[in-house]
Amino acid sequence: MLHTLEAIRIYKSGESQERLHQMPQWLQWLAAAEKPRINLERIHSIAELQETNAVLDYTERTLQVLDGLQLSFWIRELLEEVLVWSETAKGGSSDQRRTWQHQGINLFVHNIGSAQLFNMYMDERSGTKSPRHEVISNLIATHGLIGQYIRGEIPFAENAPLRSLITDGFVTCSELRTMLMALNECIIAGVDPGLWNQVQGEVQRIVEWIVEGTEYKDWSMKERLSRLRSSSIRQGELIDESYAKLEQQFAVEKQLAPLASRTLWYVESAMKDFSLEEMVKVFLLTLHSEEWNNEKVDSNHAAIPSSVTDIRHISFEPLMNTMVYDYKGVKKLNIYKKRMIEKYLEQYSWEQIIAGKRIPYPHLEHRIERYPDLPDTLFVTFEFSPAAESLIAFCVEAEKSPLYEQAVLMLFDLFGLRRDAYDRFHNEETYLSDMNSSGDYKKVLLDFMVGTRVLDIGPGGGVLLDLIEQEKPEVEAIGIDISSNVIEALERKKHRESHRWQVMKGDALQLNQYMEPGTVDTVIFSSILHELYSYIEYDGRRFNTDTVAAALQSAFQVLSPGGRILIRDGIMSEPESQQRRIRFLEPDGIRWLERYKADFKGREITFDRISDHEVIMPINDAMEFLYTYTWGEEAYVHEIQEQFGVFTPRDYEKCIREALGEQADITLLRHFLQKGYTEALAERIVFMDETGEPVSLPDSTCLIVIEKKGRLNE
């Protein structure tokens, strides 16, 4: 075992905690890290960082990889020292870090800062620089740069100092080749062994460029952007199409040319969830900022060098840190901040950014900062007002409570956004997963489709679009949704899985803005009308049956003669005066009902308590409650915002006839109990009639087919 691994083992065992000062200096600094600066990209939970020392753990993993490599003794020993020092700029206590910063140590470009710390330590010990010292310092200063070049984060020239080790006679070509391959295996496999297997060949090619002094050509801007967005591309982003769209709007290569010679730190981690267009806008806002172009004075009236040539690094670490938070032990993108930043960027045209214009926006601005002690580095982030930060924090906390909707709507009001653009934010992934699990329920709709152009309103996770594509390959399937989250997820899914269907962001009540009248053969509302009814403010209020009528009219307008509207959604029972008794078999059942009565937004829920475990209530109130009770605590905060049963069968028919008139025929109106409810509730309640006799649950779901009179052109 390497002696450094043994030192880490002893420290972690607690055997030497009380005499940490006797441990190697690098270990003291790594162990003292209070808030280590790390790339959050591969961290599963931010909370884990409070319980572990991620930087020390990573250093240990790199050493374990080194311990398993077949190397000569002197190269192994040299690389061992490189690895233990290469993360030290991420360590140290708060006091130590302040001291280092005053001493000019670059803590934000950690490979350079770590090399500076190593040199400072060695100078204090010996005062002279040996050839071995020079090699180690050089390898620390270029630590990880080959991987960063592959990722598009740095220009190739940053690796130039490595070649000098040969030209200055410190090592031979063969020795440097061996060192660099081994060192990069430790660095990359320490993150993920599988990742090393993927990039080993490319690393070897780049090492040859360095060792042989081969002519190289730096990435074009398009290639560099592609590498910076590798994770987005894996998720389905079409980089060629996105880049071509940008080129139609402005000279991308020319405008982004100043980035060619600069390093871009943490850029993928900070902006992988934004679109290419949004990322490029952030780059341009940086390049055309006052901090980039003009002399600035800090709060202490100290001049910051104004020469653009002084800027070597652009760090997106502040933005990366602000864009994530922990949700139930899992690292989550701060979707609230992302949506607000998207709206902020949307207001800028390319011409306005290039002209250096700054547009005021309520409670949010971009911040490009440059500090006197780090004149070669720019720091990029977005700054929210204290009110916005507090409200966003409130939204995060409210995710677990019925206050969530009020919190999100307050956030929309603060930024002046449309309320009917309400997204499920953090719960979108769960929502889309639930939608995708409902494929069997949706498949029946395929039997009633007509024509060759089908519009799916509110496509959710895309399961119905997939089914149409699989079962009806001749059909052009289009999904439309108001939620940016849904559209983004579906676009990624489409390109990742090579689907033919299309999606677009749009309003279900204004379909004629996206489709020519009479051009759609089938419009499908699959479990979406009750959401439009529940969430959209129509004529100033939610839970308005006129919303359903408006959605049907919107669909009917784009429907071709002979075309169909298909509805699959919740239904209420007739007669509505029926009463049902519920006996709860769980001790907290009554508490659930009382909580539901207080929180439900759709209408007033009534019940009479018969005993500690039994109530009697109107049949439709009982079922509306049981829909939420079935889904459980995780879905509660969202389910209480929605009324699943909007109409009785008779009221549905009345609404359709009044909204669509004589040109519409209802060719099918049937209702049934959706599978799963009986099984889910069997051990939780006893469902009874007014006399106390157990009865079946009433129908929950309807299937309606509406046909537009005329002949379909097929």
Say if residue 431's pLDDT is above 50.
no
Q: Give the pLDDT band (50/70/90) at residue 428.
A: very low
**Confidence band of 714 (pLDDT split at 50, 70, 90):** low
332/14 Cα distance (integer angstroms): 33
Pinpoint the alpha helices (H) of 256-403. 267-271, 276-287, 290-293, 317-322, 335-346, 350-354, 386-398
The pLDDT value given to residue 640: 83
Indicate whether 526 pLDDT > 50: yes
Q: What is the edge-to-edge ordering of all strands in the sheet holding 374-384?
A: 263-265, 313-315, 374-384, 364-371
- Token pair listed for 453: 């152009």
Measured CA to CA, the distance from residue 393 to residue 637 in angstroms comes to 17
Higher pLDDT, 86 or 713: 86
- Which residues are within 8 A (CB) of 533 and not within 5 positions of it... i.e. 6 or more apart? 542, 543, 544, 545, 547, 548, 643, 646
* Six-digit token string for 472: 């009806």
Q: Which two tokens stand for residue 433?
A: 């997963």
Residue showing tokens 């998720």: 235
Cis-peptide, bond into residue 258, ω within 30° of zero: no
Q: Report the pLDDT value the prediction gives residue 636, as an integer from 0 to 100.
A: 79
pLDDT digits (tens, 9 = 90+) for 462-505: 999 999 999 999 999 999 998 777 888 888 888 888 899 999 99
Q: Looking at residue 397, what is its pLDDT?
A: 80
Mean pLDDT, range 323-349, rounded to an integer? 85
Tokens matching residue 376: 């070669």
d(C-alpha 606, C-alpha 577), whole Å:
12
Question: What does the angle CA 413 – CA 415 – CA 416 come to, to the nearest 5 degrees?
Answer: 60
What pLDDT shows up at residue 23? 86
pLDDT tens-digit map of 205-255:
999 999 998 877 788 999 999 999 998 888 778 889 889 999 999 999 999
Counts for the chain of helices (H) and strands (E), in that order: 35, 19
At 256 the three-state DSSP class reads coil
DSSP strand pairing (313-315 vs 324-327): unpaired
Q: What share of the chain in percent tops pLDDT 70?
A: 89
Q: What is the DSSP letter of 171?
A: S
What is the rounded end-to-end Cα distance, in angstroms, of the chain?
75
Is pLDDT above 80 for 422? no
Q: What is the mean pLDDT of the chain?
A: 87
Predicted local confidence at residue 460, as pLDDT: 84
Predicted local distance difference test score (pLDDT) of residue 421: 47
Going by pLDDT thresholds of 50, 70 and 90, the confidence category of residue 639 is confident
Q: Which pLDDT does position 429 carry in this prediction?
A: 46
In this prediction, residue 17 has a pLDDT band, given cuts at 50, 70 and 90, of low
Residue 39 has pLDDT above 80, yes or no: no
List C-alpha distances in Å: 397 to 15, 48, 411, 415.
Answer: 40, 19, 13, 19
Judge whether residue 52 has pLDDT over 60: yes
Share of the chain above pLDDT 90, in %: 61
Helices 335-346 and 386-398, interaxial angle, to 10°? Answer: 140
pLDDT of residue 442: 78
Which residue stretches of 32-72 are H helix? 48-51, 54-67
C-alpha to C-alpha distance for 668 and 702, rounded to whole angstroms: 10
Average pLDDT over residues 542-547: 94
537 exposure class (CB count in 10 Å sphere: 0-12, 13-18, 19+): middle
Closest CA to 505 of 497, 513, 517: 513
Degrees, nearest 5: CA angle 404-409-414:
125
Which position has the token pair 């006893």?
686
The answer to whether 83 and 114 have CB atoms below 8 angstroms apart is: no
**Residue 488's pLDDT is what?**
80
More confident residue, 424 or 213: 213
Residue 113: which residues within 8 A CB-CB, separation 6 or more? 88, 89, 100, 105, 106, 107
Ramachandran area for residue 665 (φ above 0: left; ψ -120 to 50: alpha; else beta): beta
Q: C-alpha distances in angstroms, 253 versus 220, 222, 244?
A: 8, 8, 12
pLDDT at res. 537: 85
Contacts for 285 with CB less than 8 Å, ≥ 6 apart: 348, 353, 366, 368
- What pLDDT score was predicted for residue 430? 46
* pLDDT of 414 over the 70 cut: yes
Higher pLDDT, 18 or 25: 25
Which band of pLDDT confidence, cut at 50, 70 and 90, is reported for residue 47? Answer: low
Q: pLDDT category, 88, cuts 50, 70, 90?
A: very high
pLDDT of residue 424: 46
Return the minimum-mean-pLDDT range out of 116-130, 628-642, 649-663.
Answer: 628-642
- How far CA 420 is from CA of 17, 65, 409, 508, in Å, comes to 57, 53, 10, 11
Confidence (pLDDT) at 19: 62
- The pLDDT tens digits of the residues spanning 103-135 come to 889 888 889 999 999 999 998 887 777 899 999
Q: Please state the rounded mean pLDDT for residues 503-522.
A: 93
Residue 204 has pLDDT above 50, yes or no: yes
* Predicted TM-score (pTM) of this structure: 0.71
Lowest mean pLDDT among 161-175, 289-303, 600-614: 289-303
pLDDT of residue 671: 95
| Least confident window among 227-236, 599-608, 683-692 | 227-236
CA dist 47 and 70 (Å) reads: 37
Q: How confident is the model at residue 136 (pLDDT cuts 50, 70, 90)?
A: very high
